[in-house]
Amino acid sequence: MAELVFFTGTMDSGKSTLALQMDYNHRAGGRLGLLFTRHDRSGEAAITSRLGLRTPAIEVTASSSFWDEVVRRRTHGEEVDYLICDEAQFYRAEQVDDLARVVDELEVDVYAFGIGTDFRARLFEGSQRLVELADRIESLQVPTLCWCGRRATHNARTVGGTMVRTGEQVVVADITGRGTLPPAGVTAQGQPVEVGYETLCRRHYMAGRTAATADVMGEGEQLLPFGE
């Protein structure tokens, strides 16, 4: 039975790496699949991992139809056994419905990867629909850590180094100080903005405390060892 699986975790938790590993393993097992992404940080139609892997992918746009893509390819004799869908938080709800239909009616496995919530701790449209429809939801196994040592659960956005809670939902950018992107992002409309992201535990997300403000912590607050 084909299935729709949603692999989710914070930014930088290894989703794209896992997406490429899944593709590699299925391909090695003789299955054929298609790779999709939307707004990858590289600015290209590709799935890129911070471990250095990069594989070309089909760019999903607001009008893309997964159903049409699979049916068209199969009509031309192409085998399609599975879909790898990265940055799935950016997909429209209708496109996730489409993915579920591809699973149920075409018997194609769909492996979707994405962050659950945005910088305001609100579900992205694509992630919400995946949570509603997926056969299984898998959390990434290697936790990213907050500066305090706790497991990070939230994605904070900084503008010019300061954490913000308002702004456009989609601003493509990297974790501050990591990756190849400068500390700048680009909105869905292509506007440049000075944006970075940082993964935080809920406590520090709610308090608005990023690593930059850790050295001016309130009294009584201590760095915690990993796991607590």
Ligand X SMILES: Cc1cn([C@H]2C[C@H](O)[C@@H](COP(=O)(O)O)O2)c(=O)[nH]c1=O
- Answer yes or no whether residue 50 interacts with ligand ADP by CB under 6 A: yes
Q: Which amino acid is at 201?
A: C
Name the active-site residue from 59, 79, 87, 132: 87
Q: Which two tokens stand for residue 66?
A: 């997964």
Residue 204, contacted partner among ligand X, ligand ADP, none, CB below 5-8 A by kind: none
Q: Which amino acid is at 8?
A: T
* 33-37 vs 82-85, strand pairing mode: parallel
- Answer yes or no whether residue 116 interacts with ligand ADP by CB under 6 A: no
Burial (CB < 10 A; 0-12, 13-18, 19+), residue 73, is middle
User: For ligand ADP, which is the closer residue by CB, 33 or 114?
Assistant: 114
The stretch among 22-30, 48-56, 188-196, 220-228 that binds ligand ADP (CB under 6 A) is 48-56
The stretch among 21-29, 43-51, 102-110, 118-126 that binds ligand ADP (CB under 6 A) is 43-51
User: For ligand X, which is the closer residue by CB, 150 or 157?
Assistant: 157
Residue 172, contacted partner among ligand X, ligand ADP, none, CB below 5-8 A by kind: ligand X
Q: Is 105 a catalytic residue?
A: no
Question: Which run of H or E residues covers position 100?
Answer: helix 93-106
What are the CB-based long-range contacts (under 8 Å, 24+) for 151-154?
151/201, 151/227, 152/10, 152/199, 152/200, 152/201, 153/10, 153/199, 153/200, 153/201, 153/202, 153/205, 154/10, 154/117, 154/121, 154/199, 154/200, 154/201, 154/202, 154/205
Enumerate binding residues for ligand X (CB under 6 A). 11-12, 15-16, 41, 115, 118-119, 155, 157, 169-173, 197
Q: Using the rule CB under 6 A, which residue among 142, 184, 206, 223 binds ligand ADP?
A: 142
User: For ligand ADP, which is the closer residue by CB, 70 or 200?
Assistant: 200
DSSP-assigned beta bridge partners for residue 154: 200
**Under the rule (CB under 6 A), what is the footprint of ligand ADP?**
9, 11-17, 49-51, 142, 144
User: Annotated catalytic sites, by residue?
Assistant: 87
